[in-house]
A and B are shown apart, each in its own frame.
Chain A
Amino acid sequence: MSLYADVVRYPDLFLNIFRRELYGKYRGSILGLFWTLVNPLALMAVYTLIFSVLLKAFQIEHYALFVVSGLVSWVFFQSALQMSCSSLFAQPTLVKQVRFPRHILPLAVVGTNVVTLVAMLVVVLVPNLIVIPETRTTFWAAIPMLLPLIALASGLGVVVGYVTVVYRDVEHLVTTILLPWFFVTPILYSLDELPGLEGNEWVADVLYYANFVTPIVESIRDPLFFGEWPAVGDVVYSVGAALAALALGALAAHRFDDQVPASL
């Protein structure tokens, strides 16, 4: 697990690579950051239009804010994971010629996504605080809950970054998995309000706990949108999932690090 500590052990290396990746993501402009925010906001608009206004599928108050409060976490997770895939693969000369802690590369990619995450959070927070008074006392509890989310993305980011070098199709696989994964994660809907599950409420529990992203999304959305404190069970589960992901990342790095220069 010590590989994650390299971020602070080699701060200059991390910051320089982080800056480089950040530049790649935002093309060096504030407008670049703006564009990465447009995507989730556009998604929010279209989901609200279809599911709430046109289909009248959900009876959730402030549906647009509900959706975007969940999208914050999901968009970060998805983008971090997708971008991590090519983090090592796209740097053949660097990886083949110079010895340096290579796992910094996926971690820096996740880091650039944290920038978007924080910006998104600010964008969501303002209307939530105005429209939903209950969130004014609880909103801050979302901040510590970002840690398990970031840790989860970091661990899995290292995994996909390394595995992509050895198996070239992982990037496609990740993209393929992420879309259905998004729909089984309760972001557009709430697992509490699924008419189809009447009489089979245990299915909701399975959907909830089998998908390790759900408790994290929920424990961020609770204080951010519902004005409730994160549930203890969710917090414990989130931290557990995050630690497991970090351990998996460490394992992948240990297993594949030596193969990386030879495979590129």
Chain B
Amino acid sequence: MNVGTIVAENVSRRFKVYPQRHVTLKEAIVRRRQLRPVEVWALQDVSFQIEPGESVGFMGRNGSGKTTLLRLIAGVFRPTSGRMAVAGRVGSLLELGAGFHHDFTGRDNIYLSASIYGLRKQDVDRRFDAIVEFSELERFIDLPVRTYSAGMYMRLGFSIAVNVDADVLLLDEVFAVGDEAFQRKSVNRILEFRREGKTIAFVSHSGPAVERMCDRALLLRQGVLEYDGDTREAIRRYHDMLADEEDPAERTAGLREWGSGEARVTDVRLENAAGEVREHFLPGEQVVLRLKVHNREAIDPPSLAIELRDVTGALLSRAERDLGELGWDRNGEDAEVRFDIKRLPLVEGLFQFNVSLTDGARARRYHSVEKAAEFTVVPQGEAHGFVLFEGDWSLEQNASVQAAPGSETAQSSGRG
């Protein structure tokens, strides 16, 4: 087996889960019968082979077995049945600074941490300068790490983890640590890893992140390998899976809303250009957000804010309008508001709208609803990234000005 190869053959892993969090020896002896653990199969019959130099994404919902699979690759525990073989040293960016002693200096922690990864002292001696230089902690390396800021601590952990000469690197989407400059450096280091032909196993919930990093993705669902192949197809299936699994009852149960209640948003619907209620849209498609506002009493024109957020809850954009400008009648009731998005500026992913209704001065919150509507954007064509990125191309050359024939649509990844 070549260095960097990962082979999983019919790997299954069972965990015994006890009804209560901790089992005591006393209970194990005294209440032997009541303590029957529940057997949970975190992974079932998973097989795949990853060749050296491949970057593979591991996708799936929480509890789908991603972490278990990564720990099996790391060798932290063994499969209950089946075979997991990894050729070469595994480096992990999942938990930076694991094993650090807070009273030790940065220098001592480098030796400590590297020895846990399996490096001998002379190996660390050789890499020491590179680690310190990468971490940008030259001035602090002989201070105890308890004096470090969280960012410095992470930087040191990261620098060690990427310098232990790993053949297989495990990482998740938060691998980029520190300030913006260091994050860029982290990403570059990982890309360098790819160029060097190291194997990368990447766990993520974020489609675009997996797409940027990986040529191939594995999709897990409740411990079973659902799909192994092209990243874009895996992402598409993952989004479908998310949409399928969240049934309407769960959606309303998870609805979070609050506010004083003089006026409420009672209904939120997403429609396409033809007026059909939909949850899936294509990039650039027309989307109409329809809201019903019910006022319990006569109120001055409220202000309505709509937030567009991604699946992690990060704010992508916000639109707000004073309903008085749209002709709110103080004495009327049950208004219907329509927000027409001519071209949906998103490429792919799961998104949500949060809406909130406040008084005109925005001092009083009548009603806020989180996840008032959710929708999936299904990628189409050669789209990449999050954002629909369009422009007209033209070219000027020499003295004679020539407009480039026609205009083209380009789409590219939005986050650098």
A residues engaging B (CB < 8 A)?
10, 12-13, 15-17, 19-20, 23-24, 27-28, 91, 93-100, 163, 166-170, 173, 258, 260-262
B residues engaging A (CB < 8 A)?
15, 22-26, 28, 71, 74-78, 90, 92, 94-95, 98-99, 101, 103-104, 108, 111-112, 115-121, 124
Complex interface: chain B residues within 8 A of A16 (CB): 111-112, 115-116
Q: When the two chains form the complex, which single residue of B28, B74, B116 contacts A94, counting CB atoms closer than 8 Å?
A: B116
Q: 13 additional contacts, CB 8 Å, given A23-B103, A261-B77?
A: A12-B115, A12-B121, A16-B112, A17-B116, A20-B101, A97-B95, A100-B116, A163-B25, A167-B24, A167-B28, A169-B25, A258-B78, A262-B77
Complex interface: chain A residues within 8 A of B78 (CB): 258
Do the beta carbons of B116 and A13 come within 8 Å of each other?
Answer: yes
Complex interface: chain B residues within 8 A of A99 (CB): 74-76, 90
B123 to chain A, nearest CB (A): 9
Do the beta carbons of A97 and B98 come within 8 Å of each other?
Answer: yes
Nearest B residue to A13, CB-CB: B115
Do the beta carbons of A94 and B99 come within 8 Å of each other?
Answer: yes
Q: In the assembly, what is the distance between CA of A260 and CA of B92, in Å?
A: 19
A126 to chain B, nearest CB (A): 32
Q: In the assembly, what is the distance between CA of A141 and CA of B98, in Å?
A: 43
Do the beta carbons of A98 and B117 come within 8 Å of each other?
Answer: yes
Nearest A residue to B101, CB-CB: A20
B131 to chain A, nearest CB (A): 15
Q: When the two chains form the complex, which single residue of A23, A27, A97 contacts B94, counting CB atoms closer than 8 Å?
A: A97
Can you pick out 15 interface pairs between chain A and chain B where the beta carbons lie within 8 Å of each other? A10-B115, A13-B118, A27-B103, A28-B103, A93-B98, A96-B95, A97-B98, A98-B99, A100-B117, A167-B24, A167-B28, A169-B24, A170-B25, A261-B77, A262-B15
Q: A166-B23, A261-B76 are in contact. Are A12 and B119 (CB under 8 A)?
A: yes
Do the beta carbons of A96 and B76 come within 8 Å of each other?
Answer: yes
A24 to chain B, nearest CB (A): 7
Do the beta carbons of B92 and A97 come within 8 Å of each other?
Answer: yes
Q: Is the interface of A mostly helix, strand, loop or mixed?
A: helix
B37 to chain A, nearest CB (A): 11
The 6 closest A-B pairs by CB, nearest first: A99-B75, A169-B24, A167-B25, A97-B95, A16-B115, A94-B99
Do the beta carbons of A98 and B92 come within 8 Å of each other?
Answer: yes
Q: In the assembly, what is the distance between CA of A260 and CA of B71, in Å?
A: 13
Q: When the two chains form the complex, which single residue of B94, B95, B98, B112 contacts A20, counting CB atoms closer than 8 Å?
A: B112
B127 to chain A, nearest CB (A): 13
Complex interface: chain A residues within 8 A of B101 (CB): 20, 23-24
Complex interface: chain A residues within 8 A of B117 (CB): 98, 100
Complex interface: chain A residues within 8 A of B95 (CB): 93, 96-98
Q: In the assembly, what is the distance between CA of A100 and CA of B71, in Å?
A: 12
Complex interface: chain A residues within 8 A of B118 (CB): 10, 13, 100
A204 to chain B, nearest CB (A): 32
Q: In the assembly, what is the distance between CA of A93 and CA of B95, in Å?
A: 7
Q: A167-B28, A169-B26, A170-B25 are in contact. Are A98 and B115 (CB under 8 A)?
A: no
Complex interface: chain B residues within 8 A of A169 (CB): 24-26
Q: When the two chains form the complex, which single residue of B71, B92, B99, B116 contacts A261, counting CB atoms closer than 8 Å?
A: B71
Do the beta carbons of A168 and B76 come within 8 Å of each other?
Answer: no
Most chain B beta-carbon neighbours within 10 Å: one of A24, A94, A99? A99
Q: In the assembly, what is the distance between CA of A100 and CA of B89, in Å?
A: 11
Do the beta carbons of B120 and A98 come within 8 Å of each other?
Answer: no
Q: When the two chains form the complex, which single residue of A20, A94, A95, A168 contacts B104, counting CB atoms closer than 8 Å?
A: A20
Complex interface: chain A residues within 8 A of B24 (CB): 167-169
B238 to chain A, nearest CB (A): 25
Complex interface: chain A residues within 8 A of B120 (CB): 12
Q: In the assembly, what is the distance between CA of A166 and CA of B22, in Å?
A: 8
Complex interface: chain B residues within 8 A of A20 (CB): 101, 104, 112
Do the beta carbons of B74 and A97 come within 8 Å of each other?
Answer: yes
Q: In the assembly, what is the distance between CA of A20 and CA of B109, in Å?
A: 9
Complex interface: chain B residues within 8 A of A170 (CB): 25
Q: In the assembly, what is the distance between CA of A10 and CA of B103, in Å?
A: 24
B73 to chain A, nearest CB (A): 10
Do the beta carbons of A173 and B76 come within 8 Å of each other?
Answer: no
Q: In the assembly, what is the distance between CA of A99 and CA of B103, in Å?
A: 24
Complex interface: chain A residues within 8 A of B99 (CB): 91, 93-94, 98
Q: In the assembly, what is the distance between CA of A262 and CA of B37, in Å?
A: 14
Nearest B residue to A14, CB-CB: B115
